[in-house]
Amino acid sequence: MSALERTEHTYEIIVTPGKKPERLDAYITRSIAMATRTRVQKAIDAGSVHVNGVHKNANYKVKPSDVITVTVMRPPPLQLVPQDIPLEILYEDEHLLVINKAPGILVHPGLGNRDGTLVNAVLWHLGQREPIDVLKGREDWGDDEDAVEESLDEGVDETLDTSEAAFWDPERGLEQESAAIRPGIVHRLDRDTSGVMVIGKKYLTTMQLAKQFADRTVSRQYVALCWGIVGEDHLLIEGDIGRSPRDRTLRAIVRTGGKYAATEVTVHERFLCATLITCKLRTGRTHQIRVHLSSRKHPLIGDPDYGGRDSAINALHHAYRQKGTDVLRNIHRQALHARSLEFTHPVTKERMVFESPLPADMQACLDLLRDGYTPHATTDP
């Protein structure tokens, strides 16, 4: 069975005697575990719901003895396959692991990316060799592939809340559903963001690390290169972040339905067409730094999703476009690196700080920007 092949499954619900009239979509949502009102409505609109063999609208009022059928598609089980993928380990003890994540690797698998992730590498490193089946019951309610993929991340930000964290422990195994694909992961970086990450090796350690992230007692600093000259030496960017109305796979600053996000930005070097900055997260939202900088017309250099490539070059003064083009030749991702991570060891209670040097592609961009130009201001990032 291929990764995208699904099998059909039909629920049959018989309305109980004495049931008072209730909307069809509401009744189904209450009757099927993990169903949501939105997805039920989409299934109804798609013709996947029938009452007594006849298609009904969402506002149909169910009656006693009505036979409701709901047809959904079930994907094959998601297997966690331990893989011998190299990890750059900065620190390790019996409780936790600190790594320098390379760009280009996903943190955890999903329906569309089932292997080659950090989780696959961590499972191998922890001694797991046999594949583990998870997400056996995850169903497609008529969403497209992207929506199914996103459903694995609903409510999950760059920092995972304690209740949403995934835990790996040899004695407990994997938790179910969304947690199951994130063993030991208490925070994450985008696929193409590099830098320091901490991973729990035991259940209690992971829980305690997750709580530190949820309580905002962890300190993280990112180094970034953005287009344009950031005027202020220090600034706070605020704006609620939610799914982009133009593309569900991206995020945007939204007026309603988003989550509060705040990013502290400090300028270190200004060039003719770009700025070297560090960013400190007050909150941890998916794509937060990328969205916030883009909203200020300073997209990250190389960011293909938030205006950091061709559109950024076109926005430059013609005198700087060749320099900008040369810079982009050196990087094929967003110029964002999680340089440092500070947290309290859950067992020893020692405050620990880990740092990672600037990766080669970002250093090449920085060298090119510095070439033949004296920055307006310089401090160590």
Catalytic residues: 190
Instruction: Report residue 317: phi and psi, to 5°.
Output: -60, 140
Q: How far apart are CA 194 and CA 101, in angstroms?
A: 5
Dihedral through CA 186, CA 296, CA 329, CA 331, nearest 10? -10
Pairing state of beta strands 54-55 and 61-62? unpaired
Q: How far apart are CA 205 and CA 11, in angstroms?
A: 40
DSSP 130: S
Q: How far apart are CA 69 and CA 12, in angstroms?
A: 5
Contact 158, 189 (CB under 8 A): yes
Q: How far apart are CA 331 and CA 110, in angstroms?
A: 26
Q: How far apart are CA 20 and CA 115, in angstroms?
A: 48
* CB atoms near residue 67 (< 10 Å): 12
Q: How far apart are CA 268 and CA 278, in angstroms?
A: 7
Residue given tokens 């709580």 in the structure block: 211
- What lies within 8 Å, CB to CB, of 144 at 6+ separation is none
Q: Is the sign of the CA dihedral 363, 302, 331, 250 positive or negative? A: positive
Residue given tokens 């005027």 in the structure block: 231
